[in-house]
Amino acid sequence: WNGPLSGPILRRAARLAHRVLVVVSSGINVIELTRVATRLGREDGVGYVLVNLKDAYVDLEDRVGDVEAFWGGPQQSDRPESHAS
């Protein structure tokens, strides 16, 4: 994403996307993470990739949530309606 990191342009792009993948660095606190979701303006279809994790955490579970549903194609009812002229 080369656009603004907040505001209506970001929220509109997030709404129109089938899914959003956010890259965050380890050490981000829960308040900052919540702000990311708020800036996107959506709760579903958002995935996070955690980078810069210490080696001590390498053997922990690396996925949380319904990964297959996240990467699967969007349901027909989930797509924004197109308005033909």
- Pair of tokens at residue 72: 């699967």
**Band of pLDDT at residue 80, cut at 50, 70 and 90:** low
> CB neighbours of 6 closer than 8 A, spacing ≥ 6?
39
Ranges of beta strands (E only) in the chain are 20-25, 46-51
Task: Please say whether the beta carbons of 74 and 20 come within 8 A.
Answer: no
Q: Would you say residue 43 has pLDDT above 70?
A: yes
- Please compute, for residue 40, the number of CA atoms within 13 A of its CA located in the half-sphere on the CB side: 23
SS3 assignment, position 20: strand
Average pLDDT of the chain, as a whole number? 84
Write down the pLDDT at residue 17.
93
Please give the model's pTM, rounded to 2 decimal places: 0.73
